[in-house]
Amino acid sequence: MEGRSYLFTSESVTEGHPDKMADQISDAILDAILAKEARLEEQGYVAPNGIAASLADARCACETFLTTGTVIVAGEIRTQAYVDVQKIVREVVRSIGYDRAKYGFDYETCGVINMIHEQSPDIAQGVDGTYARGDVDDLDRIGAGDQGMMFGYATDETEVLMPMPAFLAQSMAQRLAAVRKDGVLDYLRPDGKTQVTVRYEDDAPVEVTAVVVSTQHDPNVKDMKLIERDMVEHVIAPVLDGVGIAWKDAKIYVNPTGRFVVGGPMGDTGLTGRKIIVDTYGGMGRHGGGAFSGKDCTKVDRSAAYAARWVAKNVVAAGLARRCEVQLSYAIGVSHPLSIMVDTFGTASVNERKLERAVSQVFDLRPAAIIRDLKLRRPIFRKTAAYGHFGREDADFTWEKTNRVEELRAALA
């Protein structure tokens, strides 16, 4: 795109958005299962049916639906552990900030309906090894939990190797939640959305041209100009001042409809997996279509998407390309990926075909190897369910580590 000027826009939402509430509930249930299975395994627990508790055997595909006054949890789960779904749901809703009826949704009075049932044995046998191909080692005995393709992306336009518009939108959403929870702006309510438009010149971000912030607020706040001033001072400026590109001429839109009192599940339904672009790269780079939240690590929709980001980020961090997109594809029950694609959009400093071979040499992308290398059997997933799964500086986000840089360089030497 050399010589081209264009605009690119990404959005984010706060943890109090109903779709993100659903994601967090689903992942909180997954975390509870992983934590309890690990304890039962350590204790040598054996169920009355004679099956020993094993963290590796736990399976979770949990979906959540929210509407006015009601949370419905459904899905397919296999575990020897008992988890209190009602308690988990109410704790997540409380911690997000819906802790009184006047907010339109209340953790104490909302109805919670549990419709979880056992995982299909037809699906389980593919993951458990019945259809897993190859006898090279034990890693071949875990097949992919489903078919599909997954993408990972990285770019050098931000320090965390994320696209600038997505990074800014996520940062503003986090900031919006922080000033509410810290009491800086005590009239704010949990629901909110951000959107940032960035102008690119020669494929480099040079200017923020527009910002949209929509935030739920106390009905007693009538002065929309006050909210706008507070958003610029406490949310927008602190984020944009730190990235080194122009923004003072940006068009700023705060609560464009003029009022945002009714929010959360009272204002709109929430559903797990409905914010997959917010969860990833803000529309920059492609998406395979699979959601993450509520799924255990045998589901390649999640684990392979994390692995693809890990690969792409290491390629860029190694200086082998300025931008990198990785596609992986799998068949249910088959351990090895069916295809691996590396696209650097013409920014590679090495031959792309050699780079693709180096990726295959350095990264073991079988599900069992991904689970091992990224340590995905830990209860770390609820915090991934708001503010993006990528570009986060958190030690538990192992797919963000650039720990294969030297191996990639050596493979290309």
Which segments within 41-104 are labelled E, that is strand? 59-67, 70-78, 99-100
Q: What is the pLDDT of residue 120?
A: 60
What pLDDT sits at residue 134? Answer: 46
| Spatial CB neighbours of 111, under 8 Å, sequence gap ≥ 6 | 69, 70, 71
Predicted pLDDT at 49: 75
Q: Among all chains, which residue has been given the structure tokens 């005995």?
A: 141
Please, how many CA atoms are within 13 Å of residue 88, restricted to the half-sphere of its CB? 24
Residue 131's pLDDT is 43
Tokens standing for residue 218: 């106390």
> Tokens standing for 57?
């055997």
Give me the residue label for tokens 């958005």. 17
Cβ-contact 231, 250 below 8 angstroms = no
Q: How would you class 86 by CB atoms within 10 Å of its CB: exposed for 0-12, middle for 13-18, buried for 19 or more?
A: middle
> What is the per-residue pLDDT for 138?
75
Structure confidence at residue 146 (pLDDT): 86
At 130 the pLDDT is 43
User: Rounded distance, CA 324 to CA 33, Å?
Assistant: 35
Residues of the chain with pLDDT under 50: 1, 130-134
Dump pLDDT digits (tens) for 276-327: 999 999 999 999 999 999 999 999 999 999 999 999 999 999 999 999 999 9
The two structure tokens encoding residue 128: 């458990």
Tokens of 104: 């339109």
pLDDT digits (tens, 9 = 90+) for 164-217: 999 999 999 999 999 999 999 999 999 999 999 999 999 999 999 999 999 999
pLDDT of residue 185: 97
8 A C-beta contact, residue 331 and residue 144: yes
pLDDT the model gives residue 132: 42
Determine the pLDDT at residue 93.
Answer: 98
In this prediction, residue 281 carries a pLDDT of: 98
183: amino acid identity, one letter: G
